[in-house]
Amino acid sequence: MDEEVESFDVFEDVNISDCEEDTRSELKFDEVIESDGERLKRERIAEALADGNSNLQTWQRLALEEHGLVNDDLRREIWPLLLEVDPTDSEKVPLLSDLINHCEYNQVVLDVNRSLKRFPPGIPYKQRLALQDQLTVLILRVIMKYPHLRYYQGYHDVAITFLLVVGETVSFRIMERLSTDHLHECMEATMEKTSYRLSYIYPLIQKVDKDLYKVMDGAMLGTIFALPWYLTWFGHSLKRYSDVVRLYDFFLASPPLMPIYAAASLVIHRREEVLETGCDMALIHCLLSIIPDDMDFEAVLRRASKLYVKYPPEKLESEVKIRVKREAERQKREERRVRSRLNKNKTVWRRVYGCIPDWLFLHYRNRYGLAFVAATVLFGLYAYFRAADDNNNLLHRYIQLFTDYRNQERQ
């Protein structure tokens, strides 16, 4: 594999059917004992907060470095600084009852109600209900303020993380900013641009590990396995809360497409498992869909940073366009193949049906068809009454023969 890549500089401007079952795993909020490295990092962040000269680049460096922002108390202060949002909210917050007529209300409530596993365990019932209502209002406030944005399933996974860490007021400001920036392509009327962005994964893998690329491309795996990763910043797919917020530290300090690079890095990190699985689409998809609890995300994020520097999005654009075009052509060939198979497997009736001339069918515009049906009905009636007459004559003959026989016996 090609690991010789230069260091990452994030400060340059760089410009994806309802399921009734919640497939997410329950988040683990276990307290983690602070390591020496985390303690030192926490002290550095505290110093930066006390230093009046700290700026955006300071917070970005701290969020990108190992251990991220360490704990939620520090995140509560620094996440708004990373996005440069106003932590105050002068806008009037609507009541939940005021939002029930919104076209997205029912879907949002459905998703929020299926998000119970994302709340801390042991939370009091009334507090949980209050958080669910806050989450619903938070989501609907954003899409009401920006009517061109469309809610997508998975958006609530992002919103709930910010709500839990920074509270209702700041989470609205953060979601407002992300929805018009990092996530805006995911919130369009179709998933066309989202699907296009996911296609960057394959050129990245091909440049780093050709054997891995050959297996995944040969299996026609596609990019569906990475869709929830991109849409939810991995929040939907991870079991440990500490992993979720660590990734959010990183993505908030990175260019908008960094989750795509993290997805490619994660696949490369698991190359041995994928290669052992073999060229089987279903098996590879199942493997990648479940992220192990002990995943070394610091290594994954380091590789993602290096990949972004060496292969920024603009350098991959031409390869992505070729791949998207090739995939579209392959899909058309597959559709033609399926149609051809269906034609070969037509039932006997459909084959006979195709051979019957149109004039035999009853249709109000087909005079020959109407004449044929009328003649058929008349012929049937004639045959019926003719048979009835013949039967009556035969019955009379039997009665006459029986009467003659009885008369002869009496004589």
Output the CA–CA distances (angstroms, integers) from residue 212 to 153, 208, 216, 305, in the order listed: 30, 9, 6, 20
For residue 137, the model assigns a pLDDT of: 96
Burial class (CB in 10 A: 0-12, 13-18, 19+), 123: middle
Residue pair 197/316 in contact by the 8 Å Cβ criterion: no
Higher local confidence (pLDDT), 369 or 331: 331
Q: What angle do CA 215, 224, 184 make, to 5 degrees?
A: 130
For residue 328, the model assigns a pLDDT of: 87
Residue pair 91/98 in contact by the 8 Å Cβ criterion: no
Alpha carbon distance 331, 325 (integer Å): 10
Query: Over the stretch 214-234, which tens digit does the pLDDT of each residue have?
Result: 999 999 999 999 999 999 999
For residue 268, the model assigns a pLDDT of: 98
Query: Over the stretch 129-144, which tens digit does the pLDDT of each residue have?
Result: 999 999 999 999 999 9
For residue 21, the model assigns a pLDDT of: 39
For residue 293, the model assigns a pLDDT of: 93
pLDDT at position 213 over 80: yes
For residue 184, the model assigns a pLDDT of: 96
For residue 92, the model assigns a pLDDT of: 85
For residue 372, the model assigns a pLDDT of: 58
pLDDT at position 197 over 70: yes
Q: Taken in order 44, 49, 53, 58, is the CA torsion positive or negative? A: positive
Percentage of residues of the chain with pLDDT beyond 70: 76
pLDDT at position 397 over 60: no
Query: Over the stretch 353-374, which tens digit does the pLDDT of each residue have?
Result: 555 555 455 454 555 555 655 6
For residue 124, the model assigns a pLDDT of: 87
Average pLDDT for residues 168-184, to the nearest whole number?
96
pLDDT at position 240 over 90: yes
Alpha carbon distance 111, 105 (integer Å): 10
The predicted model scores a pTM of 0.77
For residue 381, the model assigns a pLDDT of: 61
For residue 151, the model assigns a pLDDT of: 96
Query: Over the stretch 103-122, which tens digit does the pLDDT of each residue have?
Result: 999 999 999 998 887 888 77
Question: Which residues neighbour 100 within 8 Å (Cβ) at sequence distance 6 or greater?
Answer: none
Q: Which residues of 231-242 are buried (b: 16+ CB within 10 A; e: fewer)?
A: bbbbbbbbbbbb
Q: What is the mean pLDDT of the chain?
A: 84
pLDDT at position 166 over 60: yes
Name the pLDDT band for 385 (thresholds 50, 70, 90). low
For residue 335, the model assigns a pLDDT of: 81
The tally of CA atoms less than 13 A away on the side-chain side of residue 115 is 29
5-9, 116-120, 317-321, 343-347 — which is least confidently predicted?
5-9
The tally of CA atoms less than 13 A away on the side-chain side of residue 351 is 7
For residue 2, the model assigns a pLDDT of: 45
Higher local confidence (pLDDT), 151 or 24: 151
pLDDT at position 174 over 80: yes
For residue 369, the model assigns a pLDDT of: 56
Burial class (CB in 10 A: 0-12, 13-18, 19+), 353: exposed
Alpha carbon distance 297, 266 (integer Å): 8
For residue 181, the model assigns a pLDDT of: 96
